[in-house]
Amino acid sequence: MTPPELVLVRHGETEWSRSGRHTGRTDLPLTEAGRGEARALAPRLADRRFALVLASPLRRARETARLAGFGDRAEPCDDLRERDYGAYEGRTTAEIREEHPGWNVWTGPLPDGESLEALGERVDRVIARARAAPGDVLLFAHAHSLRVLAARWCELPPVEGRRLLVGTGSLSLLGWERETPGIRALNVRP
C-alpha cells in the first residue's frame, strides 16, 4: 500500500493576517481577497481524491474549505486549531517587541498561551490519523499549526516550523521518499 500524502491548505486572508496580528482563537471571517484565494484553490484540488478531509473548526478555515469545494466533506478537527497566543492574541510582533525587544513567536514566551510542545502534540495526533487513512488527506488550517505539522511530519522539533513559510491561500504537499517523510512542495499559490 502506498503511504498517504498530505495536502495542506492555509486559509485565505483575514483582516488580521493582512495586518500581521497573531490570530489564534479569534474567529475571523475571510476578507474578499481571502475568499478569492480560497476559490482559486478549487481547480488545483478538484482532480485529487482524498480519503480524509479535515478542517480547523475556526471560521476562516471552514470558509476556505467550503469555497475550495470541500465544505461538505471537511470534518472539524480541534487539533488543527491555530496556536493559542494567550495575552498576545491580536497583537503584532512589532507591538510585542516594544515591550520585549527581540521577542519572536517561536522562542519567546507567550503569557497564558500555548507552548510549541503542546501544539506539536496536537499536530502529532493529526499526523497519526492521516497516516492511518486509506489514501491521501486534505487539511485546512492555519499558518503556525501547519508549519509545526510540516516540521513534525519531517520528524523535526516543533520550533523548526519557523523555517517553513506558508502564505494565505497556499498549498503544501507532504509525502515520502521511500520510507522517509518529506516535503514535496511548500507555499504554492494557485
CATH code of the domain in which 123 resides: 3.40.50.1240
Per-position DSSP letters for 135-167, written without gaps between them: S-EEEEE-HHHHHHHHHHHTT--GGGGGG----
1 — pLDDT class (breaks 50, 70, 90) = low
Instruction: For residues 161-190, give the mean pLDDT.
Output: 96
In the prediction, which pLDDT does 2 show?
73
Active site residues: 11, 82
Of 8, 1, 54, 19, the residue nearest 188 (C-alpha):
8
Sign (positive or negative) of CA dihedral 38, 42, 44, 46: positive
137 — pLDDT class (breaks 50, 70, 90) = very high
pLDDT digits (tens, 9 = 90+) for 22-40: 999 999 999 999 999 999 9
Give me the residues paired with residue 185 across strands.
173
Residue 67 domain flag? yes
Q: What is the mean pLDDT of the chain?
A: 97
Residue 89 domain flag? no
Q: What percent of the chain has pLDDT over 90?
A: 98
Residue 168 domain flag? yes
Residue 148 domain flag? yes
Residue 96 domain flag? no
| Phi/psi at 12 (5° precision) | -70, 175
Check whether 66 has a pLDDT greater than 80.
yes
In the prediction, which pLDDT does 120 show?
98
In the prediction, which pLDDT does 10 show?
98
Of 37, 25, 27, 78, the residue nearest 55 (C-alpha):
78
Residue 109 domain flag? no
Residue 175 domain flag? yes
Which domain covers residue 65, as residue numbers?
A: 6-82+115-188
* Ramachandran category for residue 28: left, alpha or beta (phi over 0 → left; psi -120 to 50 → alpha): beta
In the prediction, which pLDDT does 22 show?
97
DSSP 133: S
C-alpha cell at 17: 493576517
Give me the residues paired with residue 103 across strands.
none
Residue 49 domain flag? yes
**What is the C-alpha separation between 104 and 117, in angstroms, rounded?**
16
Total number of domains constituting the chain: 1
In the prediction, which pLDDT does 33 show?
98
Instruction: For residues 76-101, give the mean pLDDT.
Output: 97
Helix (H) or strand (E) segment spanning residue 55: strand 52-55
190 — pLDDT class (breaks 50, 70, 90) = confident
